[in-house]
Each structure stands twice: as structure tokens, then as C-alpha cells.
Amino acid sequence: MPLNGLFGTGRRRHVGRLRSGGDVAIDLGTANTVVYVRGRGIVLSEPSVVAIDQRTGEVHAVGADAQRMIGRTPATISADRPLRHGVIADFEVTEAMLRQFVGKVLHSRFARPRMVICAPSGITEVERRAVEEASLSSGAREVHLIEESLAAAIGAGVDIAEPKGRMVVDIGGGTSEVAIISLGGLVVAKSLRVGGYDLDDAITNHIRLEHRMAIGSQSAEAIKLAAGSAIPLREEIKTSIRGRDLASGLPREIVLTSEEVRQAIASPLADIMAAIHATLEETPPELAADITTEGVLLAGGGSLLRGFDDRVARETGMPVRVADDPLACVATGAGMSLDELDAMPRGRRNRAS
């Protein structure tokens, strides 16, 4: 695989004679953080959530423990996601979360690993620098960024080094990445700040407007998983949900059908499909011809929405396949790219001041 275009700008920090830990690749997602350690594979996959004591600033819990606290904490503790739409919204909290996750998998306060971090292709230079600095502050001695679409393709077993067009659609929690890959780089790429959480928000808003009931974000996600779909189903599904009645303030229960849920999430799904069409329209003809035979690769948790692969196939006329492990293939691909760090010339590594 050629190194050209694989990694973003590297950042390097001198740490004297400190011992170095194993190389680490991290899929730092809005919904989940997945950590891959070289030689061990994926060793951690937890929600990107941090619970912080507002009085002391101390981290109370991270990951799954913190997620269970969302919407259930006293006033003194805040449980929230420090990333929004794939980028850092709270630098200090993200740094604390990364430090905790890295500490869980390396088990040494002296570990100073090299890191490969997955990032959306559409992030700004300021957002890119925030990811690098948070990673360095969490204990990394060296940081490289890799686009999520490239990492997803590598993790799904695609030979990205070939002079052949490949299309990757990665639907994450906060962003959707659509890219055409050839010769180890992105030829056309679109990063849309719409993802799985926008589907959840659409369900929440629909229930508030149509049923005058308030539900939490985790309840909205449960509805999406239980009855969400991108196309009409042969047998429509029903699911019940409890929430707070906006008129009386009392708890009540309603029943939703998959048809109603599909109508609720129609707008964000249409935005994702529009990005896929726009990417195909900008694709050079030779690469477009390749894609008609190679097909479209779907990755990310959003690709598991019922019928999403069928909808993409119908609207594009291309063969479509879902990655074998869509939730972990981005982290797996980033981990596989760690092997390229040894061959990388030092001139590609910038020193942090």
C-alpha cells in the first residue's frame, strides 16, 4: 500500500527516555470509541461518553459506565458526549476520556504509544489540530491522522492501492463519509455532518410534535433499532415506548409502527442519499465504470439500518455490500495501517513545538 495520501499530517513530541507502549489506533467517534493495539487487535469498544463532577472537575466515569448515567445524574454530575459531528466539542473532556481509555488498554503510566487517529475527511485545520493535541496530551508521543473512509476500506479487506475506483459510504453517529478511493488516496470525498444521532433526534422531534410526548435520546435510539427502516418492509414492525406526556406531565406509553418511524427519519436519510448521488456525479468516468462492477461498500453503525443497503442499491443501480464488521472495520483498518508507520520517512513527521 503506498504511503502517499494514507496519513494526514503527523505530530511528534519529544519525551526523553520514557518507555514507549504499543502502537495504538483509535476510531474516535461521536457515538463510540474503538481502540486497536498493534499485535492484539481491538481491545476496547465503549461509548464516547464522560461523566464529570461539576464541583471538582474530576472524571467520575467514562464509556459504558458514563452512558448509563445520561439523563439520570444529580445536578452535581454531568454525563455528556465530548464530540459533536465527529469533531471535538470539549477539548479537556476529550483528553481525559482518551487518557482513561489508553490507560485501560496499555496498563502502564509510562506508556507513550504512537497513535493513528481516524478523522472525517471534511474537518478543518483547527479541528484537525484539536484532535492531534488531545491525543498528544493524553500520552501519545506521536500522532497521525487517517481519513475514516480509507480506514473503513482497509478494514473491510479492500486493496486500496490498486488503480481501481472503490466507493465507500461510512455512516457514523455524527457524520456520514462518502468517498471514491483509488491508488491509496481519496479522489472524491464528501463529509456530511448527519449521522445516526440525527436519526434519533428526528424520532424525538416527531414524537414530541405528533404525540405530545417527551422521550430521551436513549429511548429514541431504542425505537430506531427496534423499528427503524430505510424502505418499506414486507411485515411492518410495532414497538412500544414510554415517555412523559407534555400536557399532563405524567408518564404514558404509545405504540409506534415501522412505517411511522420511517417517515420520521426520512429527512436525514434523504440528506445521506443526496451526498451519495453528488459524489457519484463528481466521479471521473473511468472510476465510475469501476464502481459499477466493484460496487459500494457500506460501513459504520448506520449501515445496519434495515433496508439501507437495498435503498442504496435501488437508487444508484450499483451492487452494494455491507462490511463484515461495520462497527469495527474503521478501527481495524486504522490498526492495519500501523504497519506503515515503520516505513514512513521521518520527513513526513512534524515536530510539535
173 annotated as a binding-site residue: yes
Which residues lie below 8 Å from residue 200, measured CB to CB, with a gap of 6+? 217, 220, 221, 224
223 annotated as a binding-site residue: yes
157 annotated as a binding-site residue: no
Say how far apart CA 243 and CA 262 lie, in whole Å. 20
32 annotated as a binding-site residue: yes
* Helix axes 266-282 and 196-211, enclosed angle (nearest 10): 150
95 annotated as a binding-site residue: no
Q: What are phi and psi of 261, to 5 degrees?
A: -65, -40
292 annotated as a binding-site residue: no
Say how far apart CA 23 and CA 13 lie, in whole Å. 15
302 annotated as a binding-site residue: yes
Please, what is the end-to-end C-alpha distance for the chain in angstroms? 31
Angle at 46 between CA 99 and CA 49, to 5 degrees: 70
293 annotated as a binding-site residue: no
Q: Measured between alpha carbons, how far is residue 100 from residues 50, 96, 135, 220, 256 in Å?
A: 10, 6, 12, 28, 39
227 annotated as a binding-site residue: no
340 annotated as a binding-site residue: no
299 annotated as a binding-site residue: no
25 annotated as a binding-site residue: no
Residues making up the binding site for ATP: 30-32, 173-175, 221-224, 301-304
Residues making up the binding site: 30-32, 173-175, 221-224, 301-304
